[in-house]
Amino acid sequence: MMKSIAAALALLVLNGCYFSRKKDDRPWPMDVVSKIEVGKTTKAEVLKLLGPPKQIIRLLESEAYMYIASVEKSSGLVLVVLNLSRSDRQYDAVTVIINRQDVVTAVGARFSGEDAAYGLPWD
Amino acid sequence: MASPGTSPLLRLGRTALAGLLPLLGAGCLSISLEGGKDGVSGTLVGLHKLEPGRTTLRDALQHLGPPTLLLRSGETDRLYYVSWDGLNFKLAISAPVPFPGRSLSTDAFILGLGSEELRLARLEFDRKGILRDLQSGTFGSSSQGQYFAIDNRVVETFLEDRARALSMTDQDDDDDYDLELKQVPKK
């Protein structure tokens, strides 16, 4: 009897419970990015390794290729009148600076997309 | 154990009423607590390694990773590193509006409380790729959404630059399109 009541209560509580995971673009393997060498790798090689960038930004003496892939994890609990929700968005991103001679002059990478976490609103 | 003068039926009725109260209020009372996080808060830890006049764009990308926003502004290249987190509480009581044939309600009382924190760093590089200016800070906000920073111009400039970067992307697309048109050989 008690088990049935507990199961019914659990169903009632979890009825308004959700988890979602949203991915924007595909991430790039870390070893692929590590193949990019400052002063050596060319624009054509960057495009071959990483594909077309999400954004190309023209800078004063160079241009920046921005590669961004985001992961957003959301969770929530709706208990009749009480709604608890949380979202966490993290990014895998690579920025490559290419000079006028089409050679890479700087590169920065961060892989924190998988650090996005489910949790309570105050986490 | 029943208290004197309380019948089991009455106790059952009270328990049932207590359980039903939230259900009865479900249509007109809502309490919500929302938390959010965007970006890595620890990115700015590497800022102390940067030195205006010496640090290059290459060093900055190596220490801090890719920026949130990057754009050309006058005679400088500007990089922004931004992370944000917030927690908001809302209590709303709404009342049904009697209207034949329609289901309407109006908010009778809303209480909203919240706190947000924006961590931001702005780096400016000259034509040679040398760091010329570095500004950073943590900016808190009230529930009205007004940033009350010591120098909120940094936040305002960031918002302006972000809007400009978005419009520049559109502009660049147009430029590329124009270029493609020019490359079409004339018959």
Task: Round the average pLDDT of chain A to a whole number and report it.
Answer: 89
Within 84-123 of A, beta carbons closer than 8 Å to B belong to 84-91, 93-95, 97, 105-110, 112, 115, 119-123
| B46, B63 contact by CB (below 8 A) | yes
CA distances in angstroms from B122 to A79, A119, B181, listed in the order given: 42, 30, 37
Q: What pLDDT is attached to residue B180?
A: 41
CATH assignment of A17-115? 3.30.1450
Q: What is the mean pLDDT of residues A38-44?
A: 96
Residue A85: CB atoms within 10 Å: 18
CA distance A82 to A78: 6
Tokens read off for B21: 């109260």
Q: What pLDDT is attached to residue B174?
A: 43
- Selected for mutation to probe chain A from B23, B59, B64, B72 (highest A CB count within 10 Å) is B72
Q: What pLDDT is attached to residue B123?
A: 95
Name the pTM for this structure. 0.74
Compare B115 and A37 and report the one with higher pLDDT.
A37
Q: What pLDDT is attached to residue A28?
A: 79
Q: What pLDDT is attached to residue B132?
A: 95
Averaged in consecutive runs of 10 residues, what is the pLDDT profile of chain B (187 residues)? 65 75 67 90 82 94 93 93 90 77 73 86 94 89 57 78 74 43 41
Residue A59 contacts B where some CB pair is shorter than 8 Å: yes
Q: What is the mean pLDDT of residues A6-22?
A: 79
A64-98 per-position pLDDT tens digit: 999 999 999 999 988 878 889 999 999 999 999 99
A62 band by pLDDT with thresholds 50, 70 and 90: very high
Residue B43 contacts A where some CB pair is shorter than 8 Å: yes
Q: Considering only CB atoms, which chain A residues are within 8 Å of B124?
A: none
